[in-house]
Amino acid sequence: ALVSMRQLLDHAAEHGYGIPAFNVNNLEQVQAIMEAASETDSPVIMQASAGARKYAGEAFLRHLIEAAVESYPHIPVVMHQDHGQSPEICKGAIELGFSSVMMDGSLLPDGKTIADFEYNVEVTRKVVDMAHKLGVTVEGELGCLGSLETMQGDKEDGHGADGVLTLDQLLTDPEQAAEFVSRTQLDALAIAIGTSHGAYKFTRKPTGDILSIERVKEIHRRLPNTHLVMHGSSSVPQELLAEIRQFGGNMKETYGVPVEEIQEAIKYGVRKVNIDTDIRLAMTAAIRRFLFENPEKFDPREYLKPAREAAKKVCVARYQQFGAAGQA
Ligand code: G3H
Ligand code: 13P
Ligand code: ZN
């Protein structure tokens, strides 16, 4: 059944686990997530980014997720809008039937100018007002995703702050977070702790100076009852990079967020963990391998099947690692 995200996050908090929120763009990704959730008995958060809406169209995404709900009636499913850039965009998603929306007011609607605190409070509060009347959950964001190695904003998927940022901008301030939550009354708070979107997060396995789980703990200490969200939380498995390279891909050395760091964060209030890149890597590795090993094949179903299988494997692993397995 389609459920509100608040419901799932409250349950996760009560039982001390985290829920991976997977980005979806097409049929095979939706199927992979549902198969993984059904096999592990896990609750599902599927989210559509602006890029996904542009690629597939809102109607296709909505009906794909509705098909998932219909095919797996025993699994609770949240249909979440990822990174809404304005209250108008969130309003549109709510009207389409999304059960949860993110108002990302950390940036202005251009997606690259850092917004001031008052702007962020105002737009987030506005979305909360319209969403809560309809039982729709709201995620907000305070702080700017970006790298503590380069002090650059998140750039890989085309949105993210321009220029060189300060430590204050790249790490969410616990005191400001408390004010933000109390003034907006949002349901879930996305925080900046050194993660960024895409495959190129860290040039080495991250240590505490470039991935601040310490900051998660400080925010949780100040806001013990707020559900925290980690964006940019793909782990970028080295074996998937190796497989991509082995079958003709060209990806440079890079590191993601280690699963054990996410597990630590889940002990301190992180309830929603956003993952897109790991599914992309898994599908690409499988497709490259298949086409390399079967150069005569041309039926998309034949290479999308192993791609779907590889995506499912990632989802099963995250459901188990974050403690969501068995919680549906
Ligand atoms: O928001 C970040 C997700 O990884 C989605 O990326 O905008 O390329 O769909 P996208
Ligand atoms: P990754 O790029 O690390 O998978 O993050 C996805 C995300 O945060 C979507 O909002
Ligand atoms: Zn994100």
Task: Give 156-207 pLDDT, tens digit per residue.
Answer: 766 788 889 999 999 999 999 999 999 999 999 999 999 999 999 999 999 9
What average pLDDT does the structure give for the chain? 97
> Is the minimum distance from the CB of 53 to ligand 2 under 6 angstroms?
no
Q: What ligand is nearest to the CA atom of residue 196?
A: 2
SS (H, E, C) 197-252: CCCCCECCCCCCCCCCHHHHHHHHHHCCCCEEEECCCCCCCHHHHHHHHHCCCCCC
> Is the minimum distance from the CB of 137 to ligand 2 under 6 angstroms?
no
- Cα of 235 vs centre of ligand 2, distance in Å, is 10
pLDDT band at 155 (very low <50, low <70, confident <90, very high): confident
- The domain limits of the chain are 5-241+253-276+310-321
| Overall pTM > 0.90 | yes
CA gap 256, 75 in Å, rounded: 29
Q: Whose CA is nearest to atom 3 of ligand 2?
A: 232
So what's the pLDDT on residue 158? 65
Percentage of the chain exceeding pLDDT 70 = 99
**Using an 8 Å Cβ cutoff, are 269 and 276 in contact?**
no
So what's the pLDDT on residue 36? 99
- Cα of 296 vs centre of ligand 1, distance in Å, is 33
Task: Give 270-324 pLDDT, tens digit per residue.
Answer: 999 999 999 999 999 999 999 999 999 999 999 999 999 999 999 999 999 999 9
Helical ranges in 16-160 per DSSP H: 27-40, 50-56, 58-71, 87-96, 117-132
In one-letter notation, the amino acid at residue 159 is H
**Hey, what CATH topology would domain 5-241+253-276+310-321 get?**
TIM Barrel (3.20.20)
Task: Give 33-44 pLDDT, tens digit per residue.
Answer: 999 999 999 999
> Is the minimum distance from the CB of 233 to ligand 2 under 6 angstroms?
yes
- Cα of 290 vs centre of ligand 3, distance in Å, is 30
